[in-house]
């Protein structure tokens, strides 16, 4: 088939990221956000939407949102208020969702991140608070074929922050890098628990335009964006998933355009298991949510909240400080600030031992071994004291760095044993000086040929003798010390 | 023992604590105020059989104050009516005017008080729903300042407009009940503390009948269009207040000609959203319809709601829709702001504003059912007060030549409950 002239095409992506904010109680009632997963147990008249129940704003959720606002350098208004978004859906207890419309808690922010070693900044149009709906369990089939559907309102009322970006992404890998950075920042702020199921949900708008429409600075005219048909891709729940879904969708749209077909403006569902996006509704009607003010929640004065609420040091600032304060390489500083827990642990170790030793142990040894086992620091967070003890054993010369790394750490991670027990059971405690001295003398006496070679100036001879001593001490002696002792003895 | 005038939907006694200011008193509760373990129907087939698992804040307060609840009173469906005839449980006959409606929507509450079957009652007032039945049944009714009384547990009709209020034979008893239910509530973020607004909660003590030096403003717009005999009775009551030392002057409220329209647009819009939860999943008829969820809930709502509720939900949905919201809902909000401003100005020159509560005497049963507009226009004097979030009281002013009760409405400034209670207590 003759290939028609390939058109240069560019991808335009904007995101709506729903983040569950980690608060102890729900956004409009006192029910717990975590705990029993028995359906409909973490509920009350308010989050069940019972007739007569009224929402009361949990200011903790607003505080969490303001922290995010500070981190993304957004404007926080003088007063923030809530609206009702009206639509019928069985997971929505009141058949309207309390959300923010014209006075969102954050506006005009941005987030900087690195992709392919390039720094990129994406604009954040707004971030607004809303209540999570309940969840549906379709029994005996999918949404279309199920015999019946059960509703669980445990999730209903969990605070959500919907972060809406500008259509600033030009590739799927940028989305992934952005989301990873966003998660990192949210974690640093302590407002987000990535382990919680459904804590991050992403909808993406994607369209394809002529590459020539993209300016050197990445700018595209609004009317070009408006005129391009876009699809909304739903059901994305991770940054890896986002990259795959959007790479697929970008290619699908490009293919359609290259074949001269129009892209339909529609909502598509990301099917993770099949790795494709599928059309959700053939006839997508323009939704009218009939937004109007939620009179049950008076506007909240938040003018001074940004000033009043402190946020911890963010990853970029901490990375910079690590480089300077601990004299770390870029790579080490990156690794050591990859999550707040890693950075906190590093600083804890560095406060007691040498910073270089701490950096090697946390960035290379610990993260390396964890990575090899497909684990994260969160998997060993209850054992950080043991890992610190291992660093101490090395710092105080009780065991060698090599044994600590290759035997003790690996056994700790694989068997769950503590470092002192492993060192003892494996006989890794450094041999005392007398025993090393004895081994040195024995090695000299037992190997006259090597001694002769040494005196003849053969460089390899000393290494042979060091090896002999190490063998005698079961590897527990320090090779550098042995080398030194041998030389002294042979003079 | 049900009342022959159909005042109660559910007669079931809920005992309060042993002592307290309401000890020995019975307080009937409008059936849109949640009572734990006792059905709360809102006068609707949609909520037939619904038993709330919690008490409204006002119900807890009445029980703690020693009041005994004799039952849940009949009402217009979801509060949508001026005659109590839209109830799914039948209309109520006015005990004070045979063959006539008791007014609405708290018709049952006013009727059981007028008949002496309860010492007092709670109603709710979205656009006059306490004051209208109080006027029609010849009893006292108070619509408090928005935010004085918790709405937690009140099934919402139009949540930006409504307040729970007391009905009783005398101003002093109504004030006693208001004293019990008023005050901030952590379950209702819109409640405000009266002490932050330069007053206190000693409402009953204010019912001392002392109107010497009271300045009464009479908004001409609220008197002009009223029925002739109503106007006569109204002026007789003003004369009586004047005789006791009050003075009156006429004031203007030019914006009120738009108040009824604005009120209905806002109330219907809010209602369309507030009533959306009744979708058949957890309440309402559960017939075995074929079809998907959308089709099923449409049928549930078709069957469960009466015609007046459907009318208001449809009109409210329309008024909020894209392309119409600016024309209707936003305009109504502008009118609301204007009405507030007019009241503020009028009240800067008077302690209270007086008017007939209802421009007409009680309708005959069945008279207005087929003419919703006639019913809506009867709310001309009460709805502006809800738009302005102000307190108002309706006290019996006298009767027409046919012996039909006529009410006098007194409107005060925000948190001016004591002023209207004092003024009203000079008459009842
Ligand atoms: Zn709850």
A290–B187 CB contact, under 8 Å: no
pLDDT of residue B327: 96
B235 has a chain A CB within 8 A of its CB: no
Q: For residue B219, what are the β-bridge partners? A: B251
Over residues A146-170, the mean pLDDT reads 94
A56–B187 CB contact, under 8 Å: yes
- Chain A residues touching B52 at Cβ < 8 A: 45, 50-52
- Chain A residues touching B187 at Cβ < 8 A: 54, 56
pLDDT of residue A460: 84
Whether the CB-CB separation of B280 and B296 falls below 8 Å is answered with: yes
B321–A290 CB contact, under 8 Å: yes
pLDDT of residue A216: 79
Q: Quickly state the pLDDT bin for A1 (edges 50, 70, 90).
A: very low
pLDDT of residue A172: 95
pLDDT of residue A431: 61
Average pLDDT, chain A: 90
A54–B187 CB contact, under 8 Å: yes
B54–A297 CB contact, under 8 Å: no
pLDDT of residue A27: 98
In the predicted structure, residue A440 carries a pLDDT above the cut 90: no
pLDDT tens, position by position, A378-420: 888 888 899 999 999 888 888 888 888 888 899 899 988 888 8
B56–A295 CB contact, under 8 Å: no
Within 10 A of B22 (CB to CB), how many other CB atoms are there? 25
The span from the CA of B265 to the CA of B272, in Å, is 11
Minimal C-alpha gap between B344 and chain A (Å): 21
A59-71 vs A172-189: helix axis angle to the nearest 10? Answer: 130
A40 CA distance to ligand 1 middle (Å): 10
Give percent of chain A with pLDDT exceeding 90. Answer: 59
For domain B8-255+337-424, give the CATH superfamily. Answer: Amidase signature (AS) domain (3.90.1300.10)
Whether the CB-CB separation of A204 and A215 falls below 8 Å is answered with: no
Q: Looking at per-residue confidence, does A422 or A67 come out higher?
A: A67
Minimal C-alpha gap between B140 and chain A (Å): 25
The span from the CA of A451 to the CA of A443, in Å, is 9
- Chain B residues touching A45 at Cβ < 8 A: 52-54
Domains in chain A: boundaries: 9-307, 315-425, 434-490
Q: Which residue in the set B52, B276, B329 is minimally distant from A50, CB to CB?
A: B52
Best of B48, B55, B273, B293 to disrupt the A interface (most A CBs within 10 Å) is B273
The verdict on whether B105 is a catalytic residue reads yes
What's the pTM?
Answer: 0.88
A51–B33 CB contact, under 8 Å: no
**Ramachandran sector of residue A310 (left: φ over 0; alpha: ψ -120 to 50; beta: rest):** beta
Torsion angle in degrees (nearest 10) through CA of B156, B191, B347, B405: 50
Nearest CA in chain A to B155: A52
B71 CA distance to ligand 1 middle (Å): 28
Average pLDDT, chain B: 96
pLDDT of residue A140: 84
The span from the CA of B103 to the CA of B92, in Å, is 9
The span from the CA of A407 to the CA of A170, in Å, is 46
The verdict on whether B30 is a catalytic residue reads yes
Over residues A213-218, the mean pLDDT reads 82
Domains in chain B: boundaries: 8-255+337-424
In the predicted structure, residue A75 carries a pLDDT above the cut 70: yes
A51–B52 CB contact, under 8 Å: yes
Q: Which residue in the set A52, A56, A94 is minimally distant from B155, CB to CB?
A: A52
Q: Looking at per-residue confidence, does B368 or A72 come out higher?
A: A72
Q: Looking at per-residue confidence, does A321 or A287 come out higher?
A: A321
B277–A49 CB contact, under 8 Å: yes
Whether the CB-CB separation of B155 and B40 falls below 8 Å is answered with: yes
Query: Does the domain formed by A434-490 have CATH 2.40.50.140?
Result: no
B82 has a chain A CB within 8 A of its CB: no
The span from the CA of A228 to the CA of B408, in Å, is 64
In the predicted structure, residue A173 carries a pLDDT above the cut 60: yes
Q: Quickly state the pLDDT bin for A294 (edges 50, 70, 90).
A: very high
The verdict on whether B129 is a catalytic residue reads yes
User: Which of A104-113, A190-199, B215-224 is predicted least confidently?
Assistant: A190-199
In the predicted structure, residue B1 carries a pLDDT above the cut 50: no
Minimal C-alpha gap between B364 and chain A (Å): 32
* Number of cross-chain residue pairs from A and B with Cβ atoms under 8 Å apart: 93
B289 has a chain A CB within 8 A of its CB: no
B322–A151 CB contact, under 8 Å: no
Q: Which residue in the set A54, A94, A298 is minimally distant from B276, CB to CB?
A: A94
Q: Which residues are within 8 A (CB) of B36 and not within 5 positions of it... i.e. 6 or more apart?
A: B52, B53, B54, B55, B59
pLDDT of residue A2: 45
User: Which of A12-21, A474-483, B352-361 is predicted least confidently?
Assistant: A474-483
- Chain B residues touching A295 at Cβ < 8 A: 159-160, 190, 270
Whether the CB-CB separation of B78 and B100 falls below 8 Å is answered with: no
Q: Looking at per-residue confidence, does B262 or A427 come out higher?
A: B262
Q: How far apart are the first and last CA of chain B?
A: 30
pLDDT tens, position by position, B194-240: 999 999 999 999 999 999 999 999 999 999 989 999 999 999 999 99
Which sign, positive or negative, has the C-alpha torsion A295, A300, A303, A309?
A: negative
- Chain B residues touching A290 at Cβ < 8 A: 272-273, 317, 320-322, 325
Quote the tokens at residue A60.
Answer: 């903790």
Over residues B56-65, the mean pLDDT reads 98
Nearest CA in chain B to A292: B320
The span from the CA of A215 to the CA of A217, in Å, is 5
Q: Catalytic residue among B91, B106, B124, B129, which?
A: B129
Secondary structure in 3-state letters for chain B: CCCCCCCEEECCCECCCCCCCCCCCEEEEECCECECCECCCCCCHHHCCCCCCCCCHHHHHHHHCCCEECCEECCCHHHCCCCCCCCCCCCCCCCCCCCECCCCCCHHHHHHHHCCCCCEEEEEECCCCCHHHHHHHCCEEEECCCCCECCCCECCCCCCCCEEEEEECCHHHHHHHHHHHECCECCECCCCCHHHHCCCCCCHHHCCCCCCCCEEEEECHHHHCCCHHHHHHHHHHHHHHHHCCCEEEEECCHHHHHHHHHHHHHHHHHHHHHHHHCCCCCCCCCCCCCCCHHHHHHHHHHHHCCHHHHHHHHHHHHHHCCCCCHHHHHHHHHHHHHHHHHHHHHHCCCCEEEEECCCCCCCECCCCCCCHHHHHHCCCCCHHHHHCCCCEEEEEEEECCCCCEEEEEEECCCCCHHHHHHHHCCCC
pLDDT tens, position by position, A298-310: 999 999 999 999 9
To which H or E segment does residue A225 belong? helix A222-227
Q: Looking at per-residue confidence, does A247 or A148 come out higher?
A: A247
Best of A98, A143, A281, A290 to disrupt the B interface (most B CBs within 10 Å) is A290
Minimal C-alpha gap between B125 and chain A (Å): 15
Q: Catalytic residue among B30, B72, B143, B418, which?
A: B30
Q: Which residue in the set A88, A93, A296 is minimally distant from B189, CB to CB?
A: A296
Nearest CA in chain A to B330: A292
pLDDT of residue A76: 97
In the predicted structure, residue B144 carries a pLDDT above the cut 60: yes
Q: Looking at per-residue confidence, does A225 or B108 come out higher?
A: B108
**∠B340-B153-B43 over CA atoms, to 5°?**
90
Nearest CA in chain A to B275: A94
- The residue written with tokens 């025993």 in the block is A435
Within 10 A of A267 (CB to CB), how many other CB atoms are there? 14
Which sign, positive or negative, has the C-alpha torsion B391, B395, B399, B405?
A: positive
A301 CA distance to ligand 1 middle (Å): 24
The span from the CA of A90 to the CA of A209, in Å, is 38
Q: Which residue in the set A95, A292, A293 is minimally distant from B277, CB to CB?
A: A95
Q: Quickly state the pLDDT bin for B77 (edges 50, 70, 90).
A: very high
Whether the CB-CB separation of A366 and A338 falls below 8 Å is answered with: no
Q: Looking at per-residue confidence, does B366 or A428 come out higher?
A: B366
To which H or E segment does residue A256 belong? helix A239-258
Best of B150, B320, B330 to disrupt the A interface (most A CBs within 10 Å) is B320
Sheet of A292-293: strand order equals A96-99, A83-86, A292-293
Over residues B154-159, the mean pLDDT reads 98
Answer whether the bond into residue A242 is a cis peptide, omega within 30°.
no
To which H or E segment does residue A392 belong? helix A384-395
Whether the CB-CB separation of A263 and A257 falls below 8 Å is answered with: yes
Q: Looking at per-residue confidence, does B49 or B246 come out higher?
A: B246
B273 has a chain A CB within 8 A of its CB: yes
User: Which of A55-64, A436-445, B307-316, B385-394 is predicted least confidently?
Assistant: A436-445
B270 has a chain A CB within 8 A of its CB: yes
pLDDT of residue A282: 52
Nearest CA in chain A to B185: A56
A52–B34 CB contact, under 8 Å: yes
């Amino acid at each position: 088939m003759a290939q028609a002239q390939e058109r240069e095409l560019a991808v335009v992506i904007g995101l709506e990221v729903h983040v569950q904010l980690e608060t102890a109680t729900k956004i409009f009632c006192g029910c717990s956000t975590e705990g029993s997963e028995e359906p409909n147990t973490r509920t009350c008249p308010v989050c069940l939407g019972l007739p007569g129940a009224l929402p009361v704003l949990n200011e903790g959720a607003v505080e969490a949102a303001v922290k995010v606002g500070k981190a993304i350098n957004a404007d926080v208004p003088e007063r923030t208020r809530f609206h009702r978004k009206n639509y019928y859906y069985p997971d929505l207890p009141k058949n309207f969702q309390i959300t923010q419309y014209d006075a969102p808690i954050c506006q005009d922010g941005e987030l900087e991140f690195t992709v392919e070693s390039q720094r990129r900044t994406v604009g954040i149009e707004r971030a607004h608070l809303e209540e999570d709906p309940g969840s549906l369990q379709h029994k005996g089939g999918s949404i279309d074929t199920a015999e019946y559907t059960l509703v669980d309102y445990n999730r209903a009322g969990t605070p959500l922050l919907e972060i809406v970006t500008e259509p600033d992404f030009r590739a799927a890998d940028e989305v992934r890098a952005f989301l990873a950075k966003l998660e990192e920042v949210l974690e640093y702020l302590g407002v987000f628990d990535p382990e919680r199921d459904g804590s991050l949900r992403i909808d993406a708008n994607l369209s394809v335009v002529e590459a020539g429409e993209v300016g050197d600075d990445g700018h595209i005219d609004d009317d070009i964006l408006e005129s391009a048909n876009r699809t909304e891709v739903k059901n994305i729940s991770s940054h890896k998933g986002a990259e795959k879904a959007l790479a697929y969708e970008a290619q699908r749209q490009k293919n359609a355009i290259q074949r001269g077909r129009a892209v339909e403006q529609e909502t598509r569902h990301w099917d993770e298991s099949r790795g494709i996006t599928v059309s959700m509704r053939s006839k997508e009607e323009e939704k009218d949510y009939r937004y109007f003010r939620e009179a049950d929640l008076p506007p909240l004065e938040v003018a001074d909240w940004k000033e009043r609420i402190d946020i911890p040091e963010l990853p970029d600032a901490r990375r910079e400080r690590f480089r300077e304060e601990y004299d770390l390489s870029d790579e080490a500083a990156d690794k050591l600030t990859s999550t707040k827990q890693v950075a906190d642990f590093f600083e804890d170790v560095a406060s007691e031992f040498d910073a270089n030793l701490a950096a090697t142990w946390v960035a290379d040894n610990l993260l390396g071994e964890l990575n090899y086992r497909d684990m994260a620091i969160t998997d060993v967070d209850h054992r950080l004291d043991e890992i610190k003890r291992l660093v101490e054993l090395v710092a105080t010369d009780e065991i060698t760095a090599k044994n600590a790394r290759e035997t003790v750490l690996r056994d700790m991670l694989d068997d769950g044993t503590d470092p002192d027990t492993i060192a003892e059971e494996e006989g890794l405690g450094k041999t005392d000086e007398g025993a090393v001295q004895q081994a040195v003398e024995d090695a000299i006496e037992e190997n006259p040929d090597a001694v002769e070679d040494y005196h003849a100036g053969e460089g390899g001879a000393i290494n042979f003798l060091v090896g002999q001593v190490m063998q005698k001490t079961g590897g527990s002696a320090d090779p550098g010390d042995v080398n030194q002792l041998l030389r002294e003895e042979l003079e | 023992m049900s009342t022959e005038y159909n005042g109660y939907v559910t007669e079931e006694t809920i005992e309060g604590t042993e002592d307290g200011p309401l000890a020995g008193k019975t307080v009937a509760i409008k059936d849109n105020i949640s009572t734990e373990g006792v059905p709360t129907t809102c006068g609707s087939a949609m909520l037939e059989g619904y038993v709330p698992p919690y008490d409204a804040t006002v119900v807890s307060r009445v029980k703690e104050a020693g009041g005994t609840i004799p039952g849940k009173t009949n009402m217009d469906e979801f509060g949508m009516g001026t005659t109590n005839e839209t109830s799914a449980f039948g209309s109520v006959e006015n005990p004070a005017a045979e063959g006539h409606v008791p007014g609405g929507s708290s018709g049952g509450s006013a009727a059981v008080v007028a008949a002496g079957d309860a010492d007092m009652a709670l109603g709710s007032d979205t656009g006059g729903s306490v004051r209208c039945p109080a006027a029609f049944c010849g009893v006292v009714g108070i619509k408090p300042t928005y935010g004085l009384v918790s709405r937690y547990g009140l099934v919402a009709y139009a949540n930006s407009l409504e307040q729970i209020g007391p009905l009783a034979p005398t101003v002093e008893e109504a004030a006693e009940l208001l004293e019990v239910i008023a005050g901030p509530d952590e379950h209702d973020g819109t409640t405000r503390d009266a002490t932050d607004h330069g007053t206190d909660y000693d409402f009953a003590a204010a019912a001392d009948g002392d109107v010497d030096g009271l300045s009464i403003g009479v908004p001409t717009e609220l008197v002009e269009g009223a029925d002739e005999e109503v106007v006569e009775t109204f002026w007789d009551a003003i004369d009586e207040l004047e005789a006791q030392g009050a003075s009156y002057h006429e004031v203007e409220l030019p914006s009120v000609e738009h108040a009824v329209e604005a009120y209905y647009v806002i109330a219907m819009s809010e209602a369309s959203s507030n009533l959306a939860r009744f979708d058949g999943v957890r309440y309402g008829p559960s017939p075995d319809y074929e079809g998907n969820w959308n089709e099923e809930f449409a049928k549930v709502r078709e069957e469960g709601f009466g015609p007046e509720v459907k009318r208001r939900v449809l009109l409210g949905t329309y008024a909020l829709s894209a392309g119409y919201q600016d024309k209707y809902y936003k305009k109504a909000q502008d009118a609301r702001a204007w009405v507030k401003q007019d009241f503020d100005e009028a009240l800067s020159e008077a302690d209270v504003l007086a008017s007939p509560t209802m421009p007409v005497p009680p309708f005959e049963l069945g008279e207005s059912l087929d003419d919703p507009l006639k019913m809506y226009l009867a709310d001309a004097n009460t709805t502006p007060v809800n738009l302005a979030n102000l307190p108002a009281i309706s006290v019996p002013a006298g009767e027409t030549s046919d012996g039909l009760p006529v009410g006098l409405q007194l409107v005060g400034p925000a948190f001016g409950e004591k002023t209207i209670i004092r003024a009203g207590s000079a008459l009842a």
